[in-house]
Amino acid sequence: MLKGVHQKLEPQESLAFFVRGPSPFSRMMFFCALSLVLMAVDARFNYLSQFRQAFIAALHPLEMIANAPSQLGMNIKNYLSSHNALLKENQALKLKEMEQQVLLQRLSTIESENTHLRSLLKGNAPIIPKAILGEIMHMGRDPFSNVIVINRGSNHGVSAGQAVVDADGVIGQVTRTYPFSSEVTLVTDKNLSIPIQIERNQLRAIPFGEGKSNTLDIPFLPTSVDIKVGDKLVTSGIDGIYPSGLAVATVTQIKQSPDSPFAKIISTPTAGVNSHSQLLILSMPQPETIQYTEETSPTAPKKAEKKQETKPNKVKAKPDASR
């Protein structure tokens, strides 16, 4: 009896192909094709931007929970800092504060002179942009780009295009915003460029990032250019995004080749995301409105010309009336 039952079950075991389903290779090929189609649709029509924003917003609590252990460890490390080190730092800061106070004693006089000169030249006062304080959450997940993620997003008033700086200089620029976080592209990324000028001789140029080497390259400058190792690169302000005078990088190496008319100038950024966790997101500059007075309006000369043209006509008309 049992032998017969065993013989009846043997044909059923041959149907294992339908129970198993597609092979792993077939599944891999299907999902690869689906991924390529989704990537092409997103790149061409940008259909997935809304879904991406909602997905990142939904993952924000999980991201905060995942970063909680590292944040707790950092807090404990800061709490257990050495007392002697804090005392030495406090003394150094007090000494630096005294030096700065001595240097700033003439600040009020210089400001009044500057205001008076600007009023004589009819110039506008420099605009100090507002800033939003933020913190670095983690580095970007894309290994082919230099991106960091900060804890300020569109709900905090952050928009794409804003400049990001720290106490040492320019960090980068906001390139993508989410409700509770934003992505900041660093100055060392290959897709970011900042108009700069040499602080020593005011020479203007545009450096480009070199990726993971964490350096900047200033291309298309001749070998006879007046740039030296140690020159400081600051923002020129001509792009209207970065205020002028912010530190960007320092020239560390100059390479010249007899086969090329251009020099390879390598510089190292002054700001570093590894040394500071706090940063400032500068607000976008607002366009200025020009108000014309009656004397300075562009239509005033035209009115004077019209008056001058009408006077001769009246003089010619008098002899005709007498006749």
252 and 110, same structural domain? no
Q: Which among 256, 266, 263, 201 has a CA at the least distance from the CA of 234?
A: 201
Q: Which residue bears the tokens 């020593």?
A: 200
115 lies in some domain: yes
Would you give per-residue pLDDT tens digits along the chain (323 residues)? 555 555 555 555 544 444 566 788 888 999 999 988 888 887 777 777 777 788 888 888 888 898 888 888 888 887 777 777 888 888 889 888 877 876 776 676 677 777 777 766 654 544 557 889 898 988 888 878 889 999 999 999 999 999 999 888 899 999 999 999 999 999 999 989 999 999 989 999 999 998 878 899 999 899 889 999 999 999 998 988 888 889 999 999 998 888 888 999 999 999 876 667 888 999 886 655 444 444 444 454 544 444 444 444 444 444 444 43
278 and 137, same structural domain? yes
237 and 161, same structural domain? yes
Number of neighbouring beta carbons within 10 Å of residue 26? 10
pLDDT of residue 206: 93
Report the distance separating Cα 160 and Cα 195, nearest Å. 18
- Are 174 and 160 a contacting pair, CB within 8 Å? yes
185 and 219, same structural domain? yes
| DSSP character at residue 193 | B
Q: What is the mean pLDDT of the chain?
A: 78
Report the distance separating Cα 106 and Cα 116, nearest Å. 16
Report the distance separating Cα 56 and Cα 49, nearest Å. 11
- Are 165 and 271 a contacting pair, CB within 8 Å? yes
30 and 173, same structural domain? no
260 and 152, same structural domain? yes
Domain total in the chain: 3
C-alpha separations of 187 from 22, 116, 294 in Å: 47, 37, 47
Report the distance separating Cα 66 and Cα 31, nearest Å. 28
pLDDT of residue 4: 53
61 and 176, same structural domain? no
Report the distance separating Cα 220 and Cα 265, nearest Å. 10
pLDDT of residue 249: 94
| DSSP H helices in the chain | 2-13, 16-20, 24-45, 49-79, 83-103, 107-121, 300-322
Q: Across the strands, what pairs with 186?
A: 172
Number of neighbouring beta carbons within 10 Å of residue 41? 12
15 lies in some domain: no
For the record, the structure tokens of 46 come out as 């940008």
pLDDT of residue 125: 45
Length of the chain measured in residues: 323
In degrees, to the nearest 5, what angle opens at C-alpha 156 toward C-alphas 155 and 159?
Answer: 85
What CATH code is carried by the domain that includes residue 186? 2.40.10.340
Number of neighbouring beta carbons within 10 Å of residue 256? 13
pLDDT of residue 306: 46
106 and 73, same structural domain? no
- The range of the structural domain enclosing residue 65 comes to 21-80
In degrees, to the nearest 5, what angle opens at C-alpha 272 toward C-alphas 268 and 276?
Answer: 160
- Are 159 and 176 a contacting pair, CB within 8 Å? no
233 and 144, same structural domain? yes
pLDDT of residue 114: 78
109 and 231, same structural domain? no
